[in-house]
């Protein structure tokens, strides 16, 4: 019975690890590379009022990254608040803001054009970003551990307590 339950958990977890993104530098970001560690995926926008949360994301990455946490920013222009090119996003995030965690190219997160990861969040879990800086915590086996809106800072206790339980 336990073996069947483990197989079912594994089956439901596989799709999350099957997702890939394209990094700002054009590289492939493959979620399967991070199997066994938690990943905080955040849809971002450089011109949003919540952009100050980039600092919180960097703080999380610096504190928990050495223990295994991955923070992944997914810039999106779905709410018309992202810069006009991946190069501008790279300059803003890497040079001006000093972010060191992985960042994807500008990616749709809502509607029929949404990235497959965000389609999975919507279809399997009923979570669609309602604005920029929505956070999805993916657990070590690909399970969704939590989803928080823009107003919840990445360093909020609700998120950090889940991160700590998911660290190896």
Catalytic choice (24, 29, 40, 48): 48
Q: How far is CA 147 from the centre of its chain?
A: 10
93 is catalytic: no
Pair 70, 34: CB distance under 8 Å: yes
Four-residue CA torsion sign, 160, 39, 121, 106 = positive
Catalytic residue positions, numbered: 48
């Amino acid at each position: 019975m336990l073996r069947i339950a483990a197989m079912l958990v594994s089956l439901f977890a596989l799709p999350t690890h099957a997702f890939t993104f394209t990094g700002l530098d054009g590289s492939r970001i493959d979620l399967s590379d991070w199997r066994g560690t938690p990943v905080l995926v955040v849809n971002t926008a450089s011109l949003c009022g919540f952009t100050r949360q980039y600092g919180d994301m960097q703080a999380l990455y610096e504190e928990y990254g050495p223990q295994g946490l991955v923070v992944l920013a997914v810039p999106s222009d779905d709410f018309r608040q992202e810069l006009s090119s991946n190069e501008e996003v790279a300059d803003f995030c890497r040079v001006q803001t000093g972010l060191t965690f992985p960042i994807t190219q500008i990616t749709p997160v809502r509607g029929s054009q949404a990235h497959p990861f965000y389609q999975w969040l919507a279809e399997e879990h009923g979570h669609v970003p309602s604005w920029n800086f929505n956070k999805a915590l993916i657990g070590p086996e690909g399970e969704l551990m939590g989803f928080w809106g823009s107003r919840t800072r990445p360093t909020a206790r609700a998120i950090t307590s889940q991160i700590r339980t998911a660290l190896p």
